[in-house]
Amino acid sequence: MAPKIVIVGSCMIDFTCFSPRLPKPGETLIGTRFEKGYGGKGANQCITAAKLGASTALIASFGSDTFAQEYLEILKKENVDISHVKIQKDKHSGNAHIVVAENGENSIVIVLGANESLTPEHADSAIDMIKSASVLLCQFEVPLETTLHALKLHQGHGFSIVNGAPALKNFDSEILRLCDIFCVNETEAEVITGIQPIDLSNVQQVADKLLDKGCNAIILTLGPLGAAYASKTNRNVTRIPTTKVHPVDTTGAGDAFLGALAYFKAYHPQLSMDECIRRACVVATQSVLKFGTHASFPTKNDLPIDLFI
């Protein structure tokens, strides 16, 4: 059976240092511990959906290194379809260097590596899978021409979500017109719209600017404040709050939200968008209570049963 959720996106090896706080420019801090993990927005979102019980597939690009082989085993264990994951010769796998402070804040530098070699032709090789997907989920961590091509292949065949991360100031606005939902956090929205700082007082202004750029619908994730939603059919922003918690690590929370949103759109299509967002916020909030990315993403059994009714 064809996967219901197809992710065209990135895979990263995460090298994480834990520190009392984030370093200032030019400053060296002594950290408390180090961990190697597995991330990348595409793979994170895919694994979130898979852990919730979704049938998923990942279209991605790895380097020819041991990290790739380790990651492929992880994806297999989560029952992710990896038939269109490509190994690139003479490339290293993408990697992310993360610092996590004691208060849960993080800073991240990524090197895309083999992710830059994910081409439109690669998407073409998975055309049947993309067209049959209930939900297509993409990000900005792979070449935008590939994201755009995947959206064109999927158009008219299901629901599509684009995560505009990492943020780009200028990009082809056709991406906004082709996807059903464009999702960004406050920092990404600041880069794309030029509005800063973003807070609850100006989310309507942010939504209006993104809708004017061509978005069909916009979700602005607001961390502990939940999310805001607006669309062409109803431009008035709706804010969906979430439960307040004491986070231990916010790394991957946005990915948990998007993977969960894809899950609810694919498996509970009768739900309103507001309710899909509310449920995705619950999953994302749960993820910040544990360290890491994949390890922090909850399974169906970790969550209230009423999320899946």
| Rounded Cα–Cα distance for residues 267 and 231 (Å) | 22
The yes-or-no answer on residue 255 being catalytic is yes
Q: Nearest 5°: phi and psi at 82?
A: -115, 20
Write down the catalytic residue from 14, 65, 208, 255.
255
| Chain centroid offset of residue 63 CA | 21
Identity (one letter) of the amino acid at 260?
Answer: A
Written as six digits, the tokens of 105 are 């804040």
Catalytic residue annotation: 255
